[in-house]
Amino acid sequence: MAQQNTRMGIALMIFSTFVFAMQDGISSHLAREYNVFMVVMIRFWFLAAFVIVLASRGAGGVRATARTPILWLQLIRGALLVSQICVMIYGFTLLGLIESHAVFAAYPLLAAALSGPVLGEYVGWRRWAAICVGFVGVLIVLQPGMGVFDPAAVVPLIGALMFAVYGLLTRFAGRTDSAATSFFWTGIVGAVVMTFVGIGYWEPMSAGNWAWMGLLCLTGALGHFTLIKCYELAEVSAVQPFAYFQLVFASALGVLVFSESIEANVALGAGLVVAAGLFTLWRQRRAR
């Protein structure tokens, strides 16, 4: 068992959020030039190769890592995650990084709301109040108004819901399988699903964009690896609040690289979502 080191775990979480924000920026750039399915397919090819290499170096090799009594759940998890990534990248092309991440920040609240019916966990009135405040923040970001609601604004919210369900299924799988097994099936299932979906959208890519694609694959593997190390060194409840740094990094990237602007409603709504999410995480930690 790895020795607990909360400070290093927090540092790795912040670094991971930075890497994931850069990955989202690259994904947004490539998805504006090429089909989303092709971009995600190539990314998961690399991830599949990465998890196979990791598994081969573990005790018992690939066979031991892949062994699971809940294969059906691992298949659902992998398919759900790769679908969520496609939805979020599509959202980046519609709304940009800042607004998409401001809405996506609601996923811990969605996970808390669903933890009762999915995992049988108790959700008290304080956490329900925080969930309601967070959704008010989401509405402030989206500004549905009285007119025709732009369907594009719902895309990152769907992505947040999918990721919340994915997180709950991962926690459920963790009762039986190791993190290495879940990570292995995430990469393998994602690669298989995206090959079936994305191979028909293949198109030539310029040398410059192949360089960006290579960087996307490397950042994806690096982010997942540092996140695994983060959870090895520190408790989830101690490091999870720092995951909100991804919203900060993505917003900075949106302003500096993609010439996006941070509107007052986005800043206010995102602030409510983050505050509600931090309160929810704090209540979960006290409950433990």
pLDDT one-digit tens code per residue, 18-51:
998 999 999 999 999 999 999 999 999 999 999 9
pLDDT of residue 146: 42
Residue 264 burial (10 A CB sphere; 0-12, 13-18, 19+): exposed
What are the helix (H) ranges across 96-147?
A: 97-104, 107-119, 125-142
Does some domain include residue 192?
Answer: yes
Does some domain include residue 139?
Answer: yes
pLDDT of residue 2: 46
Percent of the chain with pLDDT over 90: 38
Does some domain include residue 208?
Answer: yes
What's the total number of domains in the chain? 1
Does some domain include residue 27?
Answer: yes
Does some domain include residue 99?
Answer: yes
Does some domain include residue 155?
Answer: yes
Dihedral of CA 170/174/176/177: which sign? positive
Q: Quick one: DSSP state of residue 3?
A: P
This prediction has a pTM of 0.82
The model's pLDDT over 130-148, given as tens digits with 9 standing for 90+, comes to 777 777 777 777 665 544 4
Does some domain include residue 263?
Answer: yes
Average of per-residue pLDDT across 181-191 = 93
Does some domain include residue 1?
Answer: no
* Domain that includes residue 117, residue range: 6-287
